[in-house]
Amino acid sequence: MDLPTDPRGGRAVTNVNVVGAGMIPFGRHRESSHSGLGVPAVMAALGSAGIDRGEIDRVYCASSFGGLLTGQRVSRDLGMGGLPVVNVENACSGGATALHLATSAVAAGDVRIALVLGVDKLTQFGGGAIPLVEEDVEAAAGIVMPAVYAMRARRYMYERGARVEDLAQVAVKARRHGALNPYAQVKTETTIDEVLSSRPIADPLTLLQCCPTGDGAAAVLVVSDDVRAALPGPSMRVAASVLHSGTLATGFRDMLRPEITMHSARDAFSQAEITSDDLDVVEMHDAFTVAELVYYEALGLCEGDEAVAFLQSGATSLGGKVVVNPGGGLLSRGHPVGASGVAQVVETFWQLTGQAGQRQVVDSHWAMTHVTGGGLAGLDHGSCCIHVFEGEG
């Protein structure tokens, strides 16, 4: 049955804006520290907004693997000591969660200018799947994220009649978009044959169907209406900000019906007072190819059972009805965990303010960012954070 809007997801947003955005090229920055990654991203965002670092009221810094006081280390090296700094860890949705907290603070009138930073350095682990919590019973049994999504892919192929070629086509689209993004970790196009012939990871997923791990940082400035009015540059309005955690189910769970995403999207559309048909751009959590197909349906971009046809129609490619992951998504841009949610917002800001270059979505006005975080036994992801943005035009 349809559930009522859940007030725990966050209240309607009316007076919060993103006015600046910056990031560094994602990739392998083995010689850099977390602060070394974060500082240039922040400087780029400040320059974009025309805001001096001394005007910032509060810092929200997301990182899953940065260690203690990541936000303070970056702030110190920026000469921004003494500010309130909130460090956020919420797995892959950490960056989006940091934005959710900043949005809430600005909406409440507690803060006029907030800096949101996401930064992580995954090359410190030397490769492989991101480490999960050892005390989790499923992680201890080997249920790492590639295994989870491989099971989801098998179920998707069985129930939807999809082929491995359909999964591979998601990677092809992601790499085609990413090739136009100078900040993407992978900037070369690929083919279905190349995707399927890349080395196996967890059947039916191959290497090119899994997001690359690497290092990166992204930052945005979130401000109140009065600050926005005093700035000459472009902006986008935060129309919805929703955060949910997973609910426990110890028995059967439908892997193709991600409740946490469906409920978060329902509340986000309610807050923004739009529907999925209004969206022009979606930055989606595509850590593995099958995820994008599942989330097409969960976010209401297409009807159930129609995701493969929706993809093949070109509706989600540049020039299509609703462009999904114009920046290349996690599959091409890369996935330095704490940075990804903020990087989605940076890409959205560039799209809605006409600064996306060759990958610009023409006449874009409404955009959504969607990210889920973490695998824990019994939960349909640990968290999900969705934002809806409205452009000025």
- Over residues 246-270, the pLDDT tens digits come to 776 676 677 788 899 999 999 999 9
Asked whether residue 157 is assigned to any structural domain, the reply reads: yes
Under the phi-then-psi rule, with left for phi > 0, alpha for psi from -120 to 50, and beta for the rest, what region is 53?
alpha
Same domain, 106 and 88: yes
For the chain (length 393 residues), average pLDDT per consecutive 10? Answer: 40 83 96 96 97 97 94 96 95 96 97 98 80 67 83 95 97 98 98 98 97 96 97 97 83 80 96 97 97 96 93 98 98 97 98 98 97 74 92 86
Report d(CA 187, CA 179) in Å as an integer. 4
Active site residue 385: no
> Which of these, 157, 182, 381, lies nearest to 290 by C-alpha position?
157
Catalytic residue among 92, 211, 302, 385: 92
Asked whether residue 136 is assigned to any structural domain, the reply reads: no
Number of structural domains, the chain? 2
Asked whether residue 290 is assigned to any structural domain, the reply reads: yes
Q: Which domain holds residue 40?
A: 16-126+215-230
Asked whether residue 3 is assigned to any structural domain, the reply reads: no
End-of-domain residue from the set 230, 263, 284: 230
Asked whether residue 263 is assigned to any structural domain, the reply reads: yes
Q: pLDDT value at position 2?
A: 34
DSSP letters for 34-58: HHHHHHHHHHHHHHHHT--GGG--E
| CATH number, domain containing residue 186 | 3.40.47.10
**Which pTM was predicted?**
0.94
